[in-house]
Structure 1
Amino acid sequence: MTALLPIIEELADAADHQARAQWLLAVPLAVIVRDHLTIRRLLTAAGFHEGTAYLEAEIAALSAVRGRDGLAAFTVRNTREFARIGIQVIARGGALEGKD
């Protein structure tokens, strides 16, 4: 028996970075906010640097002060979108870190 919630166990049991990227894109943002320390630990232990960068970008965007338009600063949104695009590419099976 493990202390991890079943949804976090899915990440812990992911076979590769593609599966981790798919998990990151599918998991509810509330889980990311609630369990970001555990998620960061699992991504770091797996050597999934793009996943860690995406996690940090999501947390920054979700934690950012919003302007009058209800949006975070452009730099925060831009960083989040670039990180998300990278994770989407990996989730589709392309551009894995360390591959030529």
Structure 2
Amino acid sequence: MTAALLPIVEELFDAADHSERAHWLLAVPLDVLVRERVCIRQALVKANFPEGLAYLEAEIAALSAVRGRDGLAPITIRTTREYARIGVQVMARGSAMEGGN
């Protein structure tokens, strides 16, 4: 990686497992997901984290979608985003459940 990585993105590369990556994805500001999506995608591919990739793509699609008169993205995009978020939330809970927390 380049020395120009944001410290917050370095945290993703340094994550020990999918649970940590999932927590990071759910907490990182959305503008970081947009601006740093190439590096984030590389980190998720390198970690073999398909749920994280699906979440990243769903968030980017939702943030980039043309919104309707109600101010919302199309229902297909919103639904995809929610299912992807649920998948990442399950992964985030994984280590807590395994560790008995």
TM-score, normalised to structure 1, is 0.91
CA distance in 2 between counterparts of 1:84 and 1:41 reads 19
What residue identity is the alignment partner of 1:36? R
Deviation at 1:2, TM superposition (A): 3.0
Moved >4 Å (runs of 4+): none
Question: Which whole-Å CA distance do the structure 1 matches of 2:58 and 2:5 have between them?
Answer: 23
Identity %: 70
Tell me which residue corresponds to 1:62: 63
Deviation at 1:3, TM superposition (A): 2.5
In structure 1, what is the equivalent of residue 88 of structure 2? 87
Gaps of 5+ in 2: 96-101
**Quick check: 1:27 aligned with 2:25?**
no
CA RMSD of superposed structures (Å): 1.2
Equivalents in 2 of 1:70, 1:3: separation in Å?
35
2:98: which partner in 1?
Answer: none
Number of residue-to-residue matches in the alignment:
94
Secondary structure of 1:93's partner? helix
Structure 2 SS opposite 1:71 = coil
In structure 1, stretches of 5+ residues that fail to align are: 95-100
Separation (CA, whole Å) in 2 of partners of 1:53 and 1:63: 15
Secondary structure of the corresponding residue to residue 4 of structure 1: coil
Q: Deviations over 1:37-89 (max 9, x none)?
A: 11001100110011001000000000000000000000000000000001001
Partner of 2:53: 52
Greater helix fraction, Structure 1 or Structure 2: 2
Partner of 2:14: 13
